[in-house]
Chain A
Amino acid sequence: MSTLSIVVLTLIFIPLISSLAFMPYLTRETVSFGISISEEIYRSEPVRRMRKNYALISLLLYGLLYLLCAFALLRSGHQDRLEESIWLPLFIFLLIALSSGLFLYFHFKMKQLKRALPGTAEAKSILAVDTKYRQNKLAVSNHWFWLHVALIAGSVLYMLANYDRLPGQIALKYDFQGNIVESAAKSYATVLSLNAAQIMMLLLFLFINWSIQHSKQQTYAGDPERSIRQSSIFRHRWSVFSLLSSFMTIGLFSFLQLNMIQPVHTSVMISVTLAIPLFVVLFAIILSFLTGQGGSRIKRPAKGSNVQPVDDDHLWKLGMFYYNPSDPSVFVEKRSGIGWTINHAHPAAWTVVGVILIIVIVSILISK
């Protein structure tokens, strides 16, 4: 049904477009398009103009792309399913390609701008490190995740207790209208498959919470106390977000299992299944806009410091990819974006990415 595809397209489109177009406003004030600068320079007129141009061009380009895809979906909706299912992934692919291209263009412009600025070449590269940094509450206690364990355990017990009440065929996949697309014969494996997924998610989020606590400190020498305060709040908020969103997602899976034994109305099931991920995404977007990367939007000072942050531009390839073989850090805060990224020179980082990729690929293959 093409109308629903367009609704989905719009729901994906709005948060994605807004976070892509306005990203330069959300980064730390010591970064502009992946280039390190002082806060004073960030707030200067030429850099402000660059941000505005970036946002306007982004909105224009992505808006056109959206209209194109919406039109294509409307047209193909009356024909065959295959064409319809191509447009959404194509849209996302084009979006990624466009946004990367646009970012890189502005990245190189910013590089030129920095070189032309007086005083930046000779400026000292001072790094500030707080020995007490991790004594702040950077992440919520991992013990909160016992709630998640209880929910999963409860679901497993509930499914096992009601095993006999389950029908011989377990529904595995639904389409947007609630019709069963795929099902399998009842067995302990199929009945508890969602619980296995829950456990994987729990481990993933525990790992995320751990890395929020331990990832590399990035303190601004121009105003260390303020930088630390903002950074602590930033990390703590995202830790709380991880805790809550993982609980809701695990809860969603439990809800789906409950639905197997005590089926709810199809519309309720579809609404809940769409509402929870939507809520999580909206929550993330709002949090990003309120907090900014590294907490840069929390209680901004009236005047930006003119201290040049430590010049590690050469370590951030294309302004996006952190590559530093001497740095034992596995996770660092993103330079152009919200959240964390890996140190691409660290073997453990590649292992983590590899493991996640393998899990995803294996799950896709198994479900075929």
Chain B
Amino acid sequence: MSIKFEKVDYVYSPGTSMEKKGLDNVSFEIADHSFVALIGHTGSGKSTMMQHFNALLKPSTGTIDIAGYHITSSTSNKNLKNLRKQVSLVFQFPEAQLFENTVLEDVEFGPKNFGASEVEAKKKALKWLKKVGLSESIISNSPFELSGGQMRRVAIAGVMAIEPQVLCLDEPAAGLDPRARREMMQLFVDYQKAGHTVILVTHNMNDVAEYADDVLVMENGKLIKHARPEEVFADKNWLKRHYLDEPTPSLFASSLSNFNFEKNPLTLEQLANEIKDNLWGEASE
């Protein structure tokens, strides 16, 4: 049940003067249970692609296979519910989707829409509220009384409570405190480890280096690279040409002129170890 795009084109406002290609001949396949990073500049087609994952947008041409669905331009809008149960999206600043009277009800909204009973929905809601780090004392508060960070957690719990096979998140940690940010990212890693696919749309190359095992790079609606992070960050000239940042550790490494790095260090851990190898020689280990 991998995710497969085959020659997908998506055209915005076809036939008008505003016509624009959102996706341009995009083909790729990602393996189940991987942690995928989707990167590229604003307007590169990341969010257009994201909306194809659960058929909020359908390809103008080409096909998508996801969660047992085969999606083409002629796929009907009906019967997509099961797809959306399997593939969930968390949009940027998801706190904007809160609307219920209480935190608990808001988190129950998704599960209930997808057919969970009252009891089940409540059980799931409580479970995920706890997992995102919210205390049970706030569950009957209005979501609008909470702090921005707490609202974000409620919104993310509201999607994760659906327990989808594929979870796609657009900059879920933007604007959060560093601590909250780390906790959030760990939550997604755990979710992947538990046997789900996680797709992270991000600008943060350190997160890509740290968490992803597969990277999709978009530019002007085209998929310009699909590779493991080591490979994506290996060619520094290529990155520069496409105005993409390097992870901070690899940037620092390249400024250590008389060091000889066997592997381009992408994380802090790797960088520290490579520095040690350089200074003490590998034999000393």
Same complex for A and B? Answer: no
